[in-house]
Amino acid sequence: MAGLLEGKKGLILGVANKRSIAWSIAKSVSAQGAQLAFTYQGERLLENVKELADTLPGSMVLPCDVMREDEVEEVFRKIDAAWNGLDFLAHCVAYAKAEDLEGNYLKTKKEGFDTALGVSAYSLTLLSQKAAPLMEKRGGGSIVTLTYLGGQRVAPGYNVMGVAKAALEASVKYLANDLGPKNIRVNAISAGPINTLAARGIAGFAEILKMARERSPLKRNTEAEEVGDSALFLFSPLSRGITGQILFVDSGYNILAF
């Protein structure tokens, strides 16, 4: 079915390079007619993001540090000026200090905790606050974020990021309840381990990939394109009755008891 998002406008945060899950989402929704805006944090990432965005006609590239409310507000001001509204938002942003992804969670310091929770969880709430008025102009919208099983169960090395994902998943439910009357849906995709730049910062990630491949019912690792297509579904009218949910895209690994 072609053109599921024809004429729709979307914002995607979290593209770092062509292996980013956010970029797979961008390709899936663009192929179905969506026009996109991308954000980048810092000049170091600008070239990568712009090079990718330039391959999709009509794309915008805007600076945004999700820990700075003034920058977030400016992103939505520019989007509203250009498009007079917004239809969907992909929140693919997460960060924890490297030292907090090693050893035990017990040693986490307050600064590392605040950083991980602020970037990885609160940013969804802030972005939803700013996106909601633009989505109301379009009669509603869809917000999707990315999570991981480590937010529900202990995943070795995931540590404070697991706590952040737990907060993120709770935020999805509360935001879905708050924004439902405005016809704005909020959901999360819980993806299996994927070999991205961010994932490689997790200690023992190669072993995590191997375990997921060997134990999951489908006997293979999750592909970023599978997450992209699932996000497309959640942004499209096909999912119009779904909100506040965690959609697992992990080759079935989450159903296992061990």
Query: Would you call 158 a catalytic residue per the annotation?
Result: yes
Sketch the domain layout of the chain as residue ranges. 9-249
pLDDT attached to residue 246: 98
**Continuous H helices in 31-68:** 43-53
Q: How far apart are CA 84 and CA 223, in angstroms?
A: 34
Q: Catalytic one among 40, 95, 105, 148?
A: 148
pLDDT attached to residue 72: 98
- Starting from the edge strand earliest in sequence, which strands make up the sheet with 88-91, in order? 60-63, 35-40, 9-13, 88-91, 141-147, 184-191, 246-249
Residue 118 DSSP code: I
Q: How far apart are CA 78 and CA 72, in angstroms?
A: 10
Single-letter code of the amino acid located at 53 = A
Query: Would you call 95 a catalytic residue per the annotation?
Result: no
Residue 62 in 3-state DSSP? Answer: strand
Is the overall model pTM greater than 0.85, yes or no?
yes
User: Digits of tens for pLDDT over the chain (258 positions)?
Assistant: 569 999 999 999 999 999 999 999 999 999 999 999 999 998 888 999 999 999 998 999 999 999 999 999 999 999 999 999 999 999 999 999 999 998 999 999 999 999 999 999 999 999 999 999 999 999 999 999 999 999 999 988 899 999 999 999 999 999 999 999 999 999 999 999 987 766 666 667 788 889 889 999 999 999 999 999 999 999 999 999 999 999 999 999 999 987
Q: Strand ranges (DSSP E) for the chain?
A: 9-13, 35-40, 60-63, 88-91, 141-147, 184-191, 246-249
Task: Considering the domain delimited by 9-249, tell me its CATH architecture.
Answer: 3-Layer(aba) Sandwich (3.40)
Residues of 20-43 as b/e, b for ≥16 C-beta within 10 angstroms?
A: bbbbbbbbbbbbbebbbbbbbbee
Q: Catalytic one among 95, 105, 122, 158?
A: 158
